[in-house]
Structure 1
Amino acid sequence: MKVQGRMFIWLAVFILVMAIVYGVWSKEPAGTTALFLAFGLSIMIGYYLAFTARRVDVGAQDNKDADVADDAGELGFFSPHSWQPLSLGIGGAMAFLGVVFGWWLLFFSAPIIMVGLFGWVFEYYRGENANQ
């Protein structure tokens, strides 16, 4: 995680320099604002990764002498049967179509997004998958 944190922090520094250069040369507010926002997002991700790297064990990616096989193993739990991403995808697609065809479509997409989000968050708190 240390490597990824450093990468994002250096990316943030590069984006900041480019935002300043772009803002001075172009005097265009939309692109300059987007670059400064990209700087903010990169610095947040880099800080989070660098801060988290101090609290976790050293991973194989932080060891220069590590092999690919050193990073093998279980990476986490991924739900194999969840239908919630499908409902979130349909609701998100409808929401973006609402921007194109009319804001009234958001009244139909917002409940689909909320049901999908609620179902995904509480998927393992009810039914046969409830944690005991």
Structure 2
Amino acid sequence: MKIQGKMFIWLSIFILAMAILYGVWSKEPVGTTALFLAFGLAIMIGYYLAFTAKRVDAMAQDDKEADVADEAGELGFFAPHSWQPLSLAVGGSFAFLAVAMGWWLLYFSAPLILVGLFGWVFEFYRGENQNQ
């Protein structure tokens, strides 16, 4: 995790330099603002990764002599196959389309979003994936 933190911090320094250069050279406020916001996002991610790396054990990616197999093993628990993200995506698409076409589409998107959201949150409380 240390290397990712360093990479994002260096990336943020590069983006900051480019934002300053772009702002001075082009005098265009929208692109300059976007680059400064990108700098802010990159520095936040870099700081978070560097801050978190101090609290977790060193991983194989932090060791220059590590093999690929050193990180092998269980990575954690991942949810099984679920249809809920599809419902959320379709409902979200209709909601964004409602802005362009007409607010009446929200009547169709809201139930899809609610069904997907509640289904995803309570996925492990009912059905075949219910915890014993």
Q: TM above 0.5, one fold?
A: yes
* Percent identity for Structure 1 against Structure 2: 77
Give the equivalent residue in structure 2 for 1:58.
58
What is the 5 A alignment of 1:1-40?
1-40=1-40
2-structure distance, mates of 1:60, 1:118: 38
Give, as a single letter, the amino acid of the residue that structure 1 aligns with 2:49.
Answer: L
Give the equivalent residue in structure 2 for 1:108.
108
SS for the counterpart of 1:95 is helix
Task: Compare 112-121 and 79-88 and name the one that shifted more.
Answer: 112-121
2-structure distance, mates of 1:65, 1:34: 39
Give the equivalent residue in structure 1 for 2:67.
67
TM-score (normalised: structure 1): 0.85
Residue 108 (structure 1) shift:
3.3
SS for the counterpart of 1:55 is coil
Aligned-residue CA RMSD in angstroms? 1.9
Give the equivalent residue in structure 2 for 1:98.
98
Give the equivalent residue in structure 1 for 2:41.
41
Higher Rg: 2
Unaligned runs of 5+ in 2: none
Residue 104 (structure 1) shift:
3.9
Residue 4 (structure 1) shift:
0.5
1-structure distance, mates of 2:39, 2:69: 34
Number of aligned residue pairs: give it. 131
Residue 112 (structure 1) shift:
2.6
Give, as a single letter, the amino acid of the residue that structure 2 aligns with 1:105.
Answer: L
Distance 1:30 1:104, change over 3 A: farther
Task: Compare 3-12 and 91-100 and name the one that shifted more.
Answer: 91-100
Residue 106 (structure 1) shift:
3.8
1-structure distance, mates of 2:77, 2:85: 16
2:126 maps to 1:127: yes
1-structure distance, mates of 2:52, 2:5: 9
